[in-house]
Each structure stands twice: as structure tokens, then as C-alpha cells.
Structure 1
């Protein structure tokens, strides 16, 4: 027969395996009055095993019916004729996760073999000798009653805690108030970490909070103490199918009690509610701010005085010289020529981006927001569909801000934060506008920053950092509003050399480029290209037959140089 105590709400202890289970430890079961005369004869190291249910063994094939965390009672009747099976009984029961074995001797078994007791000691499997005058029904009733009473008490306390935590939220409290309440109830340090193990709220000594940050709580099983000693408990904070982090209770002295995980689980539920609420509010506020900044950068927000006053409500200071900084993820499709993230109100491309792309964009926005706020509290930062845009203050002499202190510090810090909290090796390119002194000039500054980030990436590759004024001739070329005019100029000037289909023509174009870069120095060009002098003279003749007498015509050389520069900007 088997009697099970319904586990119900969390009534638990830390088992020797480090897992958290429901019920009473064997040591407490031995303390009930009906077992006052019982004697532990083996497996003392396993007294912390948990008893969740009780079972009576009076059939030979009991192994098929036992369950983990059972206290198994027997008179030895099924084993009376097979004493050799006693040697393996402890091992078989231990492998099935039983809590303990209690045997009443005298009627069917006179004694237990020494090998059985030694095996119980070796495995830490409690072996209990029952007194003759105690009935199994008394043990079953009393232990089962104690388990149920314990669970009822835990349930009542957990519900009381849950009501208190919910009341905190209903009264406007946040994560910090929830954490403070849990820490006070458990008398331990408590912290809530996000998915990047950053502290969202914490209560307790600083050294305990830092210790909890170092725990590997994301890869381990929730509710498991890392060392099995009861020094900390971990519960995931989950809402709407999303993992928002972990809530951890920590006691270096190992004072966590059996009901603490239940309280922590309720706290995790409330914390998830708070986090979800905060994210919803932040999302609405962020969208409103981003929409307004988009209106400013597209020139639809009104006159300067109105824009300055409205932005002051956001904490943005636009009544000063400012620059626009655009950060754009590398390695993905971008808007077509002449378009920016303002077109289409920041809508995503058809089909949407993958989860990885969204995470990368969110991390980029978070990194820039953190970096900019640390260096300029009055800056405006918003994330659009393809980029993050910041309007930051420009001090005197910051006309070429890429090398200036504040902007350089922002760039370095944003890069470090972005790399730290993103597992994939993504990079982003950055473009910086000229300094402007009124909100009405911000649309032009934004276009400058967009051109800087994209021209910089074409010239220097992924991870480029470019200021609009440092683009040289590319700045002038980028100001041509119609890209088709540039493409037509390249075709008219370079002719057959404008294409990439024939390797021979591409090689000739490379020769032309190096010739122009060396100011027609034939010896230097031959050295760079590893050509024989006569081979290069032959190539120059061929180029002049295709393009005209560029070695004698300075205007033609200028046109060819510009056409090669436009080709280098291809894709912008």
C-alpha cells in the first residue's frame, strides 16, 4: 500500500543532491512520538533526505511500486526466505530515490546482515530499526499528518506574503520595494538580476549583492543551490513567455528555511508583473519620444521655441549648440539610396527582422542610451528602425567632434557596452554631423550624419567612425541629390572601365587609379603594382586609347579621379 501527501504549494527542503523537494527530512520524521523508540542503525549522513510519502512493503516485487522520497516500512515478511537479497536491497532502493527504510525485526527477520548496514552507511541511506510495540498505521497517520500540517502552514504564509507583495505593487511600489519586503521576511539578502545579470534591484550588504551577481544562475536549474548547502535560492522571473532574469535569495550562513522557495516564487511572480508594467510604460514613452525626435529631424515639429519647450519636458536640452550622431548596425540591408530611417516612420522592411536582429538593435539602443546619459544628461536619444540617433551637446571647438573628448568617450563607452552584452560579434558604424545652433537646422544635420555613417562604412569598412566634415571630396559627392547623375557621370567618363564584369578591365582600372594617385609617376606605379616598366607603358597607351590623353589633359585627370571616387562610393 502507498499513502501520498499531496505536495501542494511549496513546502520543501534542500536535499543532499542540491534539489528542492517537498516534505519532511528523515531527521524530523524520527522525532515524531510514534517513533520515539526507533533507532537509526545505518546511513546517518542521509538524515536530510526528504520524506514526501509513505509505503508498506509486504510483497516480494516491491521495487516495481516504490517512488522517490518514500519512507518504506516493512516487517521483513517478503524477505524471510531470501536473505541473500538483503545485501542488494539498500542499493536498489537508493537508486530509486527512496528516503529511508524502516524495518521491524523479530517476527520474520531476527537481524540484518552487516553488509546491508555497511552499504547503508556508504550510500548515506537511512536504515531505521522500529520498536516492536508500534503499529504501521500509527506511523502512517502521524507522519502524514505532520507533512500535511507543514504544507498547510507554508501555504498560509505564502499566501499572506503574496498578498503583501501585490499590495505593494497596487500602491505604486516597484522592484526595490518588492525586494526590500522579501529580504525583510526572509532575513537574507535578495537581488533581482536581468538576463545580462545586471542588478535591477537589491537589498542587503553590498558584498552579498556582488556575490549574487557572480553566481552562474542563468545556466543552472531554477531553485537549486549551487553548493547544495542552502546558501542561496534562485527563481526565474518569467512573464508572457519571456525570461526577464532571476530573483535570488542569499544567506552565507545557510539559514534558508523550507518555505523560502515558495515565498521567492511568489516574489518572482510579482516581480514579473512589475517588470512587465515598467517595460510597457517605457515602450510607450520611448515610442512617443522617438516619434517626436523623428518629427524634429524631418522638420515637422514646429518653430524653435516650441521644440525647445517641448523637449525640456523630456529632459532634452536643445537650446544650445548640438550635433547629430547616427549609429547603424553593420551587416544588414539598409534603406535605398536617398532614403533614411525617417521614411516610412521607421517601419521595418517587409518580412520583418529576425529575433537576433531585433536583439542587436535593442542592445545598440541600450548601449548608446547608457553612454550618452553618462556624458550628457541633456542629450536626446532614440532608436529608429535601422539606426540609433543621438542629439548631443557640442562645446566650443567641437566642429570636428570625432576627435573631441565627450563624443570620443561616448563612442568608446557605447562600443564597450554593446560588445559586452551581445554574444555575437556584431559591429556598428557611426556618423557625426556638423554643429548646429538651432532645432530648425537639425534635419540638415541628421542627413549629414546619415551620409557620414554610410560613406564612412564604404571607405573604411564595418565599424567606421566618420565626421561629415572629414569626408573630403566624398562629402561633396554625397551632396548630389540624384544618384543616377553620379552613375551616368561614371559611365560617360570611364566607359568600359565602369563595369566589374570583365577581370581584365577591372585590372586596367586599378592601374589607372594608382597612376592618378602617384601623379603619373610611372616608376612608382610600376613598383606598387609589381609591373615591369615597359608593361606599364603599354598599359598607359591602352588606357589613353580608351579614355583619351589623360597624361596631358589635367581636366580629364580630374574627371577620371572623381569618377573613381564615385565608384568607391558604390552602394551608398
Structure 2
């Protein structure tokens, strides 16, 4: 890359001298342009232009000298060459002062040095540099593409790209989970923290969202250069590129500058890396789809009433390292509104989480959810302890997946004892987990108040009354007078913009405690008392009556589940 510093070492510049703007000597030169007219606008899309002038316009319009350098700096010009002896014997003082302040190089050239000679020398060098850059880029692209042909994974891509550029690399999913990483240079504290938590830190993603970086990545599908942000621990420059298939984001690939400044080669190479990452992810997705179908077929046979013969099942079980005679427990991870790329990323995250647990497992991708079959070794005979381990794993899955977990719930079924010939136990655990997950999804979806918080991981054994309410028929619900009271509150809230239903639910869930309910709703005690009074007047009920309160709470839960 040609810089002003390197250009001054070219033979053509031997008779010139730098008179101001020494701090900008490392500005890159990508083009040369001559301007010698009054009221020139200097507006080009191109960055890194070296401006050549005899100063005619500056001589005719002296007032333009004041704003010239700041304007050229804002437009991304690399420097200015002033041919003296025509209109100026030396560069005007105001221009030199501004150039020194902004780090914008000013070069004085003798009148006999022709602009055409400067232009030819500079463009010859930039073309040669560009050709060399494209050759390097093509070689990197060839090496990265060969990784796909040899079956490399994302870790292989990160390691190869890191070695080629001598930069640290991370590849992350659409939900910012780190999928692969390789380190080849120094990193800053923010990069190290992201590696430790295995995802880009939330404060950094918030910063990028606020500054519309992700939006620019989507709109341009090109790498974006990110300056240092010391307040976030980002003391080094970065570059991020989107991994795109069609119009869908499959994630992002990052590199960090380390001790050396970023270069145009880094941008070209990162763009190649993003393309190869997309190819690897699509290939992995296709392979995984086949594996998912095989595991899905096996799972269907395990819970089917007309199971295949025992010998057939044992052959399939051996393929998936599944023990028919072990105790099992089913977890259902249910998702909503997740794009296919994010779904593939979610599967990888689940696979990683389960692999790090102490369980042997079967992970099955189904239409709207994942079924996880956990195995319990015969030595793990304490059912209560085992069930708690399954529930703890459900909580850990949600906490680890972080932002993705906003669209996820986990249902936990009961443990079924291992019986080679039996299907009922596993099917029952699966149906229980499905029900718990669906109930959790409905409760979380239909309750958006700040004070209402339902668990996203829910065990079937903890459903209690919710299990009965979930199975109520429409006829049974329509005949319930307390459900009519709930609908009265819903209609009032919609008409008046109030929160009486949420207030009622939180009040009843907190044992009719005024102080705890006010705290949960973030309202003053008197505000809460006024709301309770309004509820009692609308429904003609006494909330202090235990029976009425119990029935109302059940009716609210029925509304949350059935609408």
C-alpha cells in the first residue's frame, strides 16, 4: 500500500519538500487528481486522493484557504502537492497551521516538476501495489477454498486464516455465540473477555447495534472496520464481516489488529473467509439434516406403539450409542420465530452444552422443537437426585444460550426406568416434556407485564394445577364464572389502557401482600390499593376471600393458557 511517506521516497519527489502535516505521512494514496479552478467542490466517492494544484483557486478566492484543509480531511484526501512559483512562492501560513493541526501532509514542488510526471509515477506504483494485493488475495482465497474441498470445519478455517494474516480470528453464530477461534497475535481485554464467556460480550453487541454496524453489514454484505473503543475494553482496531447465504445471516467473522495496523489485504481476506465460512456452514447443515432424519426416525421408533423387533432396535441403538435398558428422561427445547440459520446455530450450541455435561444423550431435531433424551446409568439409582440433575441441565441450557434463550423454553419430563420391551415410559416422558414446554411458552408469550415472570424451564412434576387447567375443554372453560370476571378485566384494560389483569395476577401470586406486589410492579402502595379497589368493583368480588382469590388465580392461568 502506497502511503505519503513511501511516495516521498520515490525519485519523482526528490525535488519536493514536506512543509506541514507530518502526522499524516502514513495516509494511503489510492489516486491522484489535479484541481486548479475557483470554487472547486472536491467531492468524490474515492478515498485516499493526492491532490495536485498550482493554487489558482486559492489565489483568486483567499477566503477558501481557511476551510480547505478541514474539508479535504473530511473527504478522506491523503495529502496536497502545491506547485510553487505560479501563484504562491510558499504555502500560505493558514493552510500550514491547519495541516499541522489535522495531520494533513502539504508538499511543495518546484514549478518545473510537471503534474503529469507525478501522476504517472504515483499511479504506476499504486497499480503495481494493487496487482500485488490482488495476487496475495487470490492466493489466500485459493488456500481457504481448498479447506472446503478437504472437509475442514470452522476451526480449521479460523486457524488457516489466522496463520495467513497473523491476526487473531473468531467466527460466531447469528446469536453471537463463538463457534471457532484462533489466536496469532496480541488481543485486548474485550477480545479476551469474549473468549472467556464464549460469545461477543453483550455491551459490545449493544454498542454495534446502537451505531448501526449490524445494519450496515446486512445492507452491504461487506466487512466493516471498527475503531478502538477503550471504554468497552476495545483498545485495538477490529474488522467484522457478515457470513451470508442468500439473504440470510449465518453469523459473523472477526479479526483484531494486534500490534500491526489493519491493511486492505485484511479486508479482502476476511471477505474470502466469510464466503468460505458460509460454504462450510451450508455443508455442515446438509450433513446434519441427514443425521437429524436418522436420529428422528430412531426416536420415532422408540416411542411408537408398533415398535420394530428388538434386534432391529438394538442395531439402531448401537449406532447412536443408546442403551435400551438404561433409565431415560426427555427434555423438550421449544423455539419460536427462529430463522433456519439460527436454528442450525442453536443445534450446535445444544450439542456443545450436552457434550460438556455428564450425560449420555440423544439430540433429536423435530419440526418446532428439539427432543433431548438423557441417559442414566444403572448406578445412578436415586430418582430424586437424577430428576434434579435434569432440571439443572435445563436451567443451564437457557442461561448459557443467553440472547437466543429469549425465544426458548425447556420442558422437563419425568424419568422412565429402563425396560427393553417397553415404550410407554419414554413416550410418557416425552409427552410430559412437550406439555411443560408448551405451557411455559404460552405463559411467557401472553404475560408481558414488567412484574409477571414465568420460568422458561418448567418440569412436568411442578405443573400441579396448571396440568389440569391445560386440559380443560372449551365447554368447561366457558361455563366458569371466574373466567368471565377475567375477561371483564381484559376488556377494561384494552379500552382504558390499564393493567388490572396483570395487577390481579401478581397480587394473588404474592399471597395478597401489598408491599411485595407494589415492589414487583414498581408502583406506589396507594396506586396498588386503587387498582385493587377497581378490580373488586368491576368483578363484584372480595379479593381477601381465600376461595374467591384461589378461583380467580386459576381463571387467570386458564386465560394465559387458552386466551
> TM-score with structure 2 length normalisation?
0.69
Residue 305 of structure 2 corresponds to residue 299 of structure 1: yes
1:114 aligns with 2:93: yes
The answer to whether 1:253 aligns with 2:256 is: no
Contact 1:71 1:100 survives alignment (8 Å): yes
Structure 1 residue 391: Cα displacement: 1.9
| Equivalent-residue separation in structure 2 for 1:80 and 1:497 (angstroms) | 91
Partner of 2:496: none
Give the aligned partner of residue 355 of structure 2.
Answer: 373
For 2:455, the equivalent position in structure 1 comes to: 463
| 3-state DSSP of counterpart to 2:422 | helix
8 Å CA contact retained: 1:120, 1:127: yes
- The residue that corresponds to 2:31 in the other structure is 53
For residue 142 of structure 2, give the secondary structure of its aligned residue in structure 1. Answer: helix
1-structure distance, mates of 2:121, 2:111? 17
Deviations 1:150-190 (A, max 9, x none): 00111112112211222232122233333332222223333
Where 1:62 maps in the other structure, the secondary structure is: coil
Superposition deviation, residue 444 in structure 1 = 4.3
- Check 1:569–1:248 CA distance in 2 against 1; reply closer, same or farther (3 A cut): closer
Q: Distance in 2 between matches of 1:380 and 1:125?
A: 63
What corresponds to 1:176 in structure 2? 155
Alignment equivalent of 2:390, drawn from 407, 428, 444: 407
- Tell me if structure 2 keeps the 8 A contact 1:72–1:100: yes
The superposition leaves residues 5-48 of structure 1 with CA deviations (integer Å, 9 ceiling, x where unpaired) of xxxxxxx6xxxxxxxxxxx3222222211111211111112222
Residues 146-545 of structure 1 mapped to structure 2, 5 A cutoff:
146-204=125-183, 208=187, 210=192, 213=195, 216=204, 219=209, 220=213, 222-227=223-228, 231-254=237-260, 256-328=262-334, 354-355=337-338, 368-394=350-376, 395=378, 400-401=383-384, 404-418=387-401, 420-422=402-404, 424=406, 426=407, 428-451=409-432, 454=435, 462-463=454-455, 500-501=483-484, 530=544
What is the deviation of 1:404? 3.9
Deviation, 1:431, is 3.4
| Most deviating of 63-72 and 378-387 | 63-72
Q: Which runs of 5+ in 2 are unaligned?
A: 217-222, 230-234, 444-453, 488-541
Distance 1:253 1:410 in 2: 41
Structure 1 residue 274: deviation in Å?
1.3
Contact 2:483 2:555 in 1 (8 A): no
Deviations 1:128-167 (A, max 9, x none): 1012332111101010110100001111121122112222
Q: Name the CA distance, whole Å, in 1 between partners of 2:10 and 2:439.
A: 79
Report if the CA contact (8 A) 2:439-2:470 is conserved. no
**Alignment partner, residue 80 of structure 2:** 101
Structure 1 spans left out of the alignment, 5+ residues: 1-11, 13-23, 330-352, 505-527, 540-560
Q: Is the 8 A contact 1:453 1:465 kept in 2?
A: no
CA distance in structure 1 between the partners assigned to 2:40 and 2:253 by the alignment: 42
Alpha-carbon distance in 1 for matches of 2:142, 2:264:
20
User: Structure 2 CA distance, aligned partners of 1:567 and 1:231?
Assistant: 53
- Aligned counterparts of 2:75 and 2:25: Cα–Cα separation in 1: 17
Query: 1:435/1:569 Cα in 2 relative to 1: closer, same or farther (>3 Å)?
Result: farther
Asked whether the 8 Å contact 1:363–1:421 carries over to 2, the reply is no
Displacement after TM superposition at 1:69 (Å)? 2.7
Per-residue CA distance 1:302-341 (angstroms, 9 max, x = gap): 1233223212212333342223333446xxxxxxxxxxxx
* Partner SS state of residue 295, structure 1: helix
SS class of match (1:236): strand
Higher mean C-alpha deviation, range 205-214 or range 316-325: 205-214
Shift of 1:469: 6.6
Q: Deviations over 1:504-555 (max 9, x none)?
A: 9xxxxxxxxxxxxxxxxxxxxxxx97569xxx9xx9xxxxxxxxxxxxxxxx
Q: State the number of aligned residues.
A: 466
In the TM superposition, residue 413 of structure 1 has moved relative to its aligned partner by 1.3
- What is the CA-CA distance between 1:70 and the residue it aligns to? 1.9
Question: C-alpha distance in 2, partners of 1:474/1:55?
Answer: 75
Residue 16 of structure 2 is matched in structure 1 by 38
Q: Does the 8 Å contact 1:39/1:128 carry over to 2? A: yes
Report the structure number with the largest CA radius of gyration. 1
